[in-house]
Every structure is written in structure tokens, then in C-alpha cells.
């Protein structure tokens, strides 16, 4: 029997490689359009046996799964067993496709507001796993020669390809470069995370205008991550914003001030006593942790941007961290010790002594034993 978990992961990569090479990548809106086309064809002709329809179906499932960092669920282990035949039968394909379009419409409609919108729509994680299971159960031959099937539907797929110029989180240059840093980090949890990258920083815009553009993407990230369990949002800025540790401290203060100025819930967190126990930076009603990487640090420093000539900010909302398996059920201290040990083994030691508060770890000093960098003095 086919190992569908592994096949789902590999097939996503194949779909992305094919889409990139042929300029057939989808975004949420073009995916919705393609699903509507499929639904129309099926409701009009009721023809799941048509090869073109099955090719479009597999492409929609796998491209959408790739764009949303979908992991293979355990249901793929048992979906082909007879006792689960009814759950994954062919007649469930159409309503599940419609559900996928509905979730994507919600994601595509996100704009900054208060509070962060939530609903009971199923996640892309859940829907694409179920759709892939139905594909495997009902049309197993479709999982062979995927590229040949897609090539046969090229004319139709070209009509739904996205415009590659506008920002798309997982196709952004920030995201692609950040993944290179993830591959190199000594953090034991990093490589299993789902991440988005912010849009490009534009030098022809003011600092505050760039923060506004960041905020729009960050709000979308937080809304989507509540369903899809995304782990972090990366922002790439020019290298000169972190030429020195002091410059990086000024940049953090300026950035958080600009972000706070456009907070949809009007938080006064930056007017509070930042050095007080339990202080949190928050935006849109959600506390978050910031990890700042700078070009001022040498290669063997834990906050060096892994050789890339950029300043990087990495944002993790608390609701993400609260659900991380390594930081729950009393495991936090043990996990933090393991991470520190791993960095130390690789000659990238840091120290939390005198930096017990979160605010004291947004930036790291040049030397591990040095006191915390008090970036908030520049507010």
C-alpha cells in the first residue's frame, strides 16, 4: 500500500516545482476561480472520470497545500482501509472543494480590524488532507505521472495562474531567504515550523509607510495562523538598520513605536513600565515576542542573520508559543536548556542571566555575559 503521508509531502513539492517552472502558481483568488470552474464543470456534466478534471483537482489540492504549509495528517494512514470508504467516497469531493473555496475567501478578505476575526470554517490543513485522501481512494492512478497529467491541462491552468508581481507570503523573497536561515539555525524546533515572509521593504517609502505595509501582512498572518498553526512571521530590512547593536536598538524602538501608532485596539503598552515583571509588547490585541537579527553580529553569534546582508525581525504571537508542544505541559524550561546547549555546542553561546524578562531578549548583546540591550530607552 502506498505511504500516502510521504506521497502527499513529495507531491506538494512536485506541484510547486512544476508551477514555478511553468509560471502556473496560484494564489487564494485564482484558486477560488479554479475551484468555481471545477464545480461548474462537475455540476453541469457530473464527470469525475474526465482526465482533465482530475488533473485540475490534483493541482488545486497540492498547490494550495504547499502555499499553506500543510503537513500530512494521520488520516492518510487509514483512508484506504475498507472501513473508512464512506468517509472518503467520491460524492464528498464536491462539497469539500466548496468548503475549501469558502475558507480561502475568508483568508482573502482579511483586513486590519478589531478584534482579529475568527469563525468555524475548516482549515486548509484539514481540507487539503481530506481532499488528497479522496483523490487517492477514488482515483489512485492520478497519483502517478502527476506532471504529465498537469501538462495535459496546461491550457486551462494558464487561465488561472497568478500575477507573479504582487506580494504572496510563501513566494516572497523574504520567505525564501528566511528558510535558508532556518536550515542553518541551532534552534531545535525551527525546522518543523510553518513560516510566512513579509513583503519587501521599499527604500522609496518612509519608515512608517513600510511599517504600515508590514502591519497589513502581519494582521493577515495572525488571522490565518489561528487556523493553520503558523509559527512565525519574518520581516527583512536593509542592513544599515543594524550596523551596530545600538543602531539595532534604535530600529527596534522606532519600529515598535510606528507599529503601536497604528494598533487597531490602541494599546498603550509602550507607555507602560516596560521593565515591570510580565510586560508584553502587543498589537491587535495579541502579545508577541520579537527576535531581532543584525549585520552587526559576527557569524558565530546567535543573532547573526546567517550570512545574509539584511536586518531581520522575527515575530511570534503568544498564541503560537502557548500551543508549541515544546513549551507546554511544564516542558518550557527543559526545552530552553536544550536550545541553549545546542547553540553552545556550536560555539554560539548566549546567556539569559540578567535577561530573564522577555523584553530583555528582543535584542542580544554582542557578548553573552554583557547586560541586556535596553532598546526601550530610545522610545
In this prediction, residue 186 carries a pLDDT of 63
- Higher pLDDT residue, 73 or 351? 73
Cell numbers representing residue 96 in the block: 469539500
Instruction: Return mean pLDDT, the chain.
Output: 92
In this prediction, residue 152 carries a pLDDT of 96
The C-alpha R_g of the chain, in whole angstroms, comes to: 23
User: Which residues are bridge partners to 283 per DSSP?
Assistant: 286
State the Cα angle at 69 between 68 and 74, rounded to 5°. Answer: 115
Condensed to tens digits (0 to 9), the pLDDT of residues 330-359 reads 666 776 677 667 767 866 778 889 999 999
Residue 140 pLDDT class (50, 70, 90 cuts): very high
- What is the value of pTM for the model shown? 0.93
Q: Concatenated DSSP letters for 71-99? A: PPPTHHHHTTSGGGTTTT-GGGHHHHHHH
With CA atoms as reference, report the closest residue to 80 among 8, 170, 28, 25: 8
In this prediction, residue 241 carries a pLDDT of 98
Condensed to tens digits (0 to 9), the pLDDT of residues 42-54 reads 888 767 778 899 9
Condensed to tens digits (0 to 9), the pLDDT of residues 143-179 reads 999 999 999 999 999 999 999 999 999 999 999 998 8
In this prediction, residue 133 carries a pLDDT of 97
φ/ψ of 98, rounded to 5, equals -65, -40
Cβ atoms 30, 160 nearer than 8 A: yes
In this prediction, residue 360 carries a pLDDT of 97
Q: Concatenated DSSP letters for 155-214? A: HHHHTTPPPSSS--GGGSHHHHHHHHHHHH---TTGGG--EEEPPPP-TTS-HHHHHHHH
Task: Please list the alpha-helical segments (H only) found in the chain.
Answer: 4-22, 28-45, 51-67, 75-78, 93-108, 124-138, 146-152, 154-158, 173-184, 207-228, 245-261, 318-321, 332-345
In this prediction, residue 45 carries a pLDDT of 74
Q: In the block, which residue shows the cell 472518503?
A: 88
Condensed to tens digits (0 to 9), the pLDDT of residues 94-112 reads 999 999 999 999 999 999 9
Q: Does residue 325 have a pLDDT over 80?
A: no
Condensed to tens digits (0 to 9), the pLDDT of residues 198-231 reads 999 999 999 999 999 999 999 999 999 999 999 9
Q: Does residue 323 have a pLDDT over 80?
A: no
Amino acid at each position: 500500500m502506498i505511504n500516502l503521508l510521504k506521497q502527499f509531502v513529495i507531491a506538494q513539492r512536485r506541484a510547486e516545482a512544476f508551477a514555478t517552472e511553468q509560471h502556473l502558481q496560484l494564489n487564494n483568488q485564482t484558486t477560488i476561480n479554479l475551484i468555481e470552474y471545477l464545480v461548474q464543470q462537475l455540476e453541469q456534466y457530473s464527470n469525475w472520470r474526465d482526465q482533465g478534471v482530475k488533473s485540475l483537482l490534483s493541482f488545486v489540492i497540492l498547490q494550495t497545500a504547499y502555499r499553506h504549509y500543510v503537513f500530512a495528517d494521520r488520516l492518510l494512514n487509514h483512508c484506504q482501509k475498507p472501513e473508512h470508504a464512506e468517509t472518503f467516497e467520491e460524492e464528498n469531493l464536491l462539497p469539500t472543494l466548496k468548503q475549501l473555496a469558502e475558507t480561502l475567501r475568508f483568508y482573502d478578505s482579511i483586513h486590519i480590524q478589531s478584534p482579529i476575526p475568527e469563525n468555524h470554517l475548516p482549515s486548509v490543513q484539514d481540507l487539503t488532507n481530506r481532499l488528497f485522501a479522496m483523490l487517492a481512494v477514488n482515483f489512485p492512478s492520478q497519483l502517478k505521472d502527476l506532471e504529465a497529467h498537469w501538462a495535459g491541462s496546461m491550457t486551462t491552468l494558464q487561465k488561472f495562474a497568478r500575477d507573479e508581481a504582487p506580494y504572496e507570503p510563501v513566494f516572497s523573497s523574504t520567505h525564501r531567504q528566511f528558510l535558508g536561515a532556518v536550515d542553518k539555525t541551532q534552534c531545535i524546533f525551527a525546522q518543523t515550523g510553518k513560516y510566512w515572509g513579509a513583503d519587501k521593504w521599499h527604500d522609496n517609502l518612509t519608515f512608517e509607510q513600510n511599517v504600515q505595509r508590514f502591519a497589513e501582512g502581519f494582521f493577515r498572518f495572525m488571522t490565518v495562523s489561528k487556523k493553520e498553526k503558523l509559527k512565525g512571521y519574518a520581516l527583512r530590512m536593509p542592513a544599515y538598520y543594524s550596523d551596530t547593536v545600538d543602531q539595532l536598538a534604535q530600529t527596534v524602538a522606532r519600529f515598535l513605536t510606528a507599529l503601536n501608532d497604528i494598533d487597531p485596539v490602541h494599546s498603550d503598552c509602550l507607555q507602560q513600565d516596560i521593565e515591570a515583571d510580565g510586560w508584553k509588547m502587543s498589537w491587535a490585541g495579541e502579545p508577541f515576542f520579537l527576535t531581532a537579527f543584525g549585520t552587526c553580529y559576527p557569524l558565530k553569534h546567535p543573532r547573526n542573520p546567517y550570512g545574509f546582508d539584511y536586518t531581520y525581525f522575527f515575530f511570534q504571537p503568544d498564541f503560537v508559543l502557548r500551543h508549541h508542544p515544546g513549551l507546554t505541559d511544564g516542558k518550557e524550561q527543559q526545552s530552553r536548556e536544550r536550545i541553549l546547549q545546542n547553540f553552545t555546542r556550536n560555539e554560539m553561546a548566549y546567556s539569559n542571566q540578567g535577561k530573564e524578562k522577555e523584553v530583555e531578549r528582543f535584542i542580544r548583546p554582542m557578548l553573552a555575559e554583557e547586560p541586556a540591550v535596553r532598546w526601550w530607552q530610545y522610545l
